[in-house]
Amino acid sequence: MDRHMIDDNSTSVLSPRRLCCQNFANQAQEQSSSAVTIIGAGPVGLYAALLLGRAGIDVQVFDAEQFVSQSPRAIAYFPVVLGDFKKSGIYDDVVAAGFKNTIGVSWRKPKTGGQLAHLGGNDPTKFAIHLGQHDLANIILAHLKKYPSVRLQFDARLEGLDNLVSEDRVIAHLVRGPEKVVVRHVSRFLIGADGGRSTARKLLGIPLEGFTWSDFQIIAANIIYDLDTFSDWGPANFIVDPELWSVVAKTGTKTEKGYEWRVATGERDVGGEEWDEEKALIRLRKRLELLLPGPTEEAEVVKISPYKMHQRCASTFRNGNVVLAGDAAHLTNPVGGLGLTTGLMDSSLLAPALKKILLEGEPSTLLDSYAETRRGVFLNYTNPTATANRQRLLSTDADTVKEREDLFAKINKPDIPFLKDMFEAELSICSTRD
């Protein structure tokens, strides 16, 4: 930790945290405690809570919102994550609730769906599950009921932190409910799983290094549309086009009118304009007409959200007794579905490390191993892979076009060493977890 950030008298981290806490000092406070505090009931925070709860560890989860976020985000869970779900007891429910994609993924042209390359589908034991991340969160919430050592509090926002390293504890200052009750919550460790705009990360002054893509933003929409009637289209489709590039995939939800589909489509980022849902819907309708076959005016738009894309990583995932996980620690563009995948595997490594420290007396330096390992996984695998996935869809740069053509040629005429390499690449998201 930087010297200038330390208060010499107490080893508490200085402003803005300290100022924040001084402001709380004069207000009526609720006091509570737990062995581990988790800030954020997104899928990463909830998954960490589940793994810790299964070990009997006393956990308090806080989330600023009143319920699990319903915005259209992650939908794909790959074998590497599904294997972990088996160990955490949620696999059967996830498979039952989602769409089992044994067909694989295709790269296609817009509108006609003309196939450029196809990967997967030749081994029925290897599949992905498509399931909205809010549905995954709800499954984890249902399982958490079995573990009374885990408590959950919605509508409670983290606003201040005392990272008391010399006292081996951390104090979270939260504001709860419409009455704005101030809560002072003490724990030995705190997990910041509070998403890309993480308050925990900001309070600790940890920079989020990297960049934001300034060329395109994403419009993510869930639509109900009978795309299955067009036999050229599969359950997961990457659309290759410099302007219309998109990901079109089943969300896992089936309605009377057919499957729900996620359309995450790149849109030139004009910058500075405020999000206007009505205008965005008009643009989406035009985009659907150019992107998909058939009478797209019949598509029912269920949800729509804008997203800025980033390739960013926190400069460290640990500061004293606070650790970061998921989007709070790293952000990537969504092409290829590696963001939540990497976040869930963070929890999968972090929970056993905390268990060893809290229940088996191992040193807290284990958290350094967690932080370095997972940061390395993001920087060495997730970030370059997701960047290449995105560029492959839209770039007209000669080198990228050649890389795309070479890759498609290999995929279309697969040889065993190449497929083995691809499989091992996916494993590298977790291979260092133990």
Residue 426 lies near ligand FAD (rule: CB under 6 A): no
Q: Please pick, from the candidates 59, 191, 208, 338, the single residue that binds ligand FAD as defined by CB under 6 A.
A: 338
Among positions 344-373, residues that touch ligand FAD (CB under 6 A) are none
Selection from 63, 221, 26, 262 nearest residue 144 by Cα: 63
Give the CA angle between residues 164, 168, 170 to the nearest 5°: 45
Q: Which of residues 66-95 bind ligand FAD (CB under 6 A)?
A: 69, 73-76
Q: List the strands of the sheet with 236-239, edge to edge.
A: 115-119, 105-108, 236-239, 246-255, 258-268, 216-224, 300-307
By CB under 6 A, residue 64 contacts ligand FAD: yes
- Least Å distance, CB 163 to ligand FAD, is 15
- Binding segment toward ligand FAD, per CB under 6 A, in 37-45, 206-214, 349-357, 371-379: 37-45
Q: Is 50 in the site for ligand FAD (CB under 6 A)?
A: no
Residue 382 within binding range of ligand FAD, rule CB under 6 A: no
Question: Of residues 144, 183, 236, 264, which one binds ligand FAD by CB under 6 A?
Answer: 264
Q: Peptide bond preceding 334: is omega within 30 degrees of 0, i.e. cis?
A: no
40 is a contact residue toward ligand FAD (CB under 6 A): yes
Point out which span in 41-49, 121-129, 204-212, 404-412 binds ligand FAD (CB under 6 A): 41-49
Helix (H) or strand (E) holding 409: helix 398-412
Angle in degrees, CA 216, 247, 117, rounded to 5: 115
Map the footprint of ligand FAD across residues 166-205, applying CB under 6 A: 193-195, 199
User: What are 227's two structure tokens?
Assistant: 């795309």
Minimum CB separation of residue 273 from ligand FAD in Å reads: 19
Per-residue tokens: 411: 């995929």
- Indicate the residue among 194 and 401 with the shorter CB distance to ligand FAD: 194
Our CB check for ligand FAD shows the closer of 149 and 251 to be: 251
Q: How far is the CB of 194 from ligand FAD (least distance, A)?
A: 4
235 binds ligand FAD (CB under 6 A): no
CB of 307 to ligand FAD, least distance (A): 4
User: C-beta of 41: minimal distance to ligand FAD in Å?
Assistant: 5
Among 41, 76, 106, smallest CA distance to 342 is for 76
- Least Å from the CB of residue 212 to ligand FAD: 13
Determine contact, residues 333/213, Cβ cutoff 8 Å.
yes
The site for ligand FAD, by CB under 6 A, has a size of 36
Q: What is the largest CA-CA distance in the chain?
A: 69
Residue 361 burial by Cβ neighbours in a 10 Å radius (0-12, 13-18, 19+): exposed
Q: Nearest distance from residue 148's CB to ligand FAD, in Å?
A: 22
Question: What DSSP letter does each residue of 294-334 carry, written as one string?
Answer: S-GGGPEEEEEEEE--EEEEES-SEETTEEE-GGGTEE--S
Residue 200: name the closest of 318, 368, 341 by CA: 318
Count the neighbouring beta carbons within 10 Å of the beta carbon of residue 249: 24
Residue in 113, 337, 345, 381 binding ligand FAD, rule: CB under 6 A: 337
Task: Report if residue 38 touches ligand FAD, rule: CB under 6 A.
Answer: no
Residue 209 CA to residue 211 CA, distance in Å, equals 7
In the numeric block, the tokens 């969160």 are attached to 137
Interface stretch with ligand FAD, choices 7-15, 60-68, 100-108, 204-212 (CB under 6 A) = 60-68
Q: Which residue has tokens 């993480």?
A: 198
Q: How far apart are CA 352 and CA 298, in angstroms?
A: 49
The answer to whether residue 63 forms part of the interface with ligand FAD (CB under 6 A) is yes
Using CB under 6 A, which of 24, 45, 201, 345 touches ligand FAD? Answer: 45
Rounded to the nearest 5°, which phi and psi values hold at 357?
-70, -45
Q: Min. distance of Cβ 316 from ligand FAD in angstroms?
A: 17
Tell which one of 42, 53, 160, 235 touches ligand FAD (CB under 6 A).
Answer: 42
Instruction: Find the shortest distance in angstroms from Cβ 64 to ligand FAD.
Output: 4
Does 335 sit near ligand FAD (CB under 6 A)? Answer: no
Counting contacts by CB under 6 A, is residue 110 touching ligand FAD?
no
Q: State yes or no: residue 341 binds ligand FAD (CB under 6 A).
A: yes
Site for ligand FAD in 271-300 (CB under 6 A): none
Residue 250 CB contacts under 8 Å (≥ 6 apart), including other chains? 75, 99, 101, 130, 235, 236, 259, 260, 261, 262
Which residues contact ligand FAD (rule: CB under 6 A)? 39-45, 62-65, 69, 73-76, 133, 157-158, 193-195, 199, 218, 220, 264, 307, 326-327, 334, 337-341, 343
